[in-house]
Homo-oligomer: A and B are copies of this chain.
Amino acid sequence: MRVPLAGLPERVTIYEVGPRDGLQNEKTIVPPDVKAEFVMRLADAGLRTIETTSFVHPKWVPQLADAEEVLAALPRRPGVRHPVLVPNERGLERALRNGVTEIAIFGSATETFARRNLNRTVDESIAMFAPVVERARAEGLWVRAYVSMVCGDPWEGDVPIEQVVSVARRLMDLGCSQLSLGDTIGVGTPGQVTALIEALAAAGIGPDRIAVHFHDTYGQALANTLAALRAGVTTVDASAGGIGGCPYAESATGNLATEDLVWMLHGLGIDTGVDLEALVATSRWMAERLGRPSPSRVVQALSPRAPRAEAPAARESNEEHR
């Protein structure tokens, strides 16, 4: 049933991260032709912005060592955007050589994660990004800035909102067009999300330039998304089938599943352009290739192997048949 809720947008842009953020964090390394087919199937299912790969050095992310091959295998189609992650100037060179027109850079709100993920302080990482964004803009590229650990950090604990705003402001000042707020460990709750978006707006980064990137590790991703939509955000990151996020624990979950997001948005009467049935079929196909079940609850619920048997099993009050 589609029932709108006051104060929410009519349309939401889903920024699909499965082929990059998803596959990067899966144990199984998928061949480039399968990756390209995954991206094409996602586009067939109606997704219009698909982060396709990363030009990170293969030493750090062997899962995406085939970025050139994936892009070469991928027929471009009008209306579908294929941003790629670019860590530094060398990555940007590779992206430009391969005809990429949209890139994303990946910063951290905390010093510890900057050090562990970027091998730099926050200041040094922003200094590293500056020439990347400058060159990208000069070449006419669209640039997204991720800021990670916006709600909490596994080493530092709570991350103050002012600290996130400060890093976000500096990243956007480099010339980025969109800011993606990443609750990388999934600990945030709706009040914190709302306060962060309001603080960013007060610092001149309005919700029209903000995307939210939630992880479902603590089950909070959809509730946080609802709060972000209420705060004016209209771009939401999600990963088809919920892939990625935590390669070491099969039961643990990472990225918000695109299907779970679409279920909520369509139920709210919000247009996404996505064909849910085609998307679920794609995620089931990819789960087979990854050799593990999709952590998406919608994919599980709509899977023929998972009978929707709760109702007949309930029998809370069946009186004796006498």
Q: Which of A190-237 contact B (CB under 8 A)?
A: 190-192, 194-195, 215-220, 222-223, 225-227
Residue in B1, B25, B61 whose beta carbon sits within 8 Å of that of A192 in the complex: B1
Distance in Å from the Cβ of A253 to the closest Cβ of chain B? 6
Binary flags per residue of A1-42, CB closer than 8 Å to B gives 1, else 0: 111110010000000000000001100000000000000000
Q: Which of A72-80, A136-144, A167-175, A298-306 contacts B (4 or more CB under 8 A)?
A: A298-306
B315 near A60 (CB under 8 angstroms)?
A: yes
Binary flags per residue of A51-88, CB closer than 8 Å to B gives 1, else 0: 00010110111000000000000000000000001011
- What copy number does this chain have within its complex? 2
Q: With contacts A315-B60, A315-B61 known, is A220 near B263, CB below 8 A?
A: yes
Kindly name the residue among A186, A191, A245, A320 whose own CB sees the greatest number of chain B CB atoms within 10 A: A191
Query: How many Å lie between the Cα of A57 and that of B219 in the bound state?
Result: 35
Query: How many Å lie between the Cα of A314 and that of B145 in the bound state?
Result: 16
How big is the A interface, by class?
Answer: 35 or more
Residues of chain B within 8 A of A57, CB atoms compared: 318-320
Distance in Å from the Cβ of A151 to the closest Cβ of chain B? 7
Residues of chain B within 8 A of A313, CB atoms compared: 25, 246-248
Q: Beyond the given A154-B308, A222-B223, please list 10 additional residue pairs across the A-B interface where CB-CB is below 8 A.
A: A25-B313, A57-B319, A87-B316, A87-B317, A113-B311, A188-B267, A218-B298, A219-B298, A223-B223, A248-B309
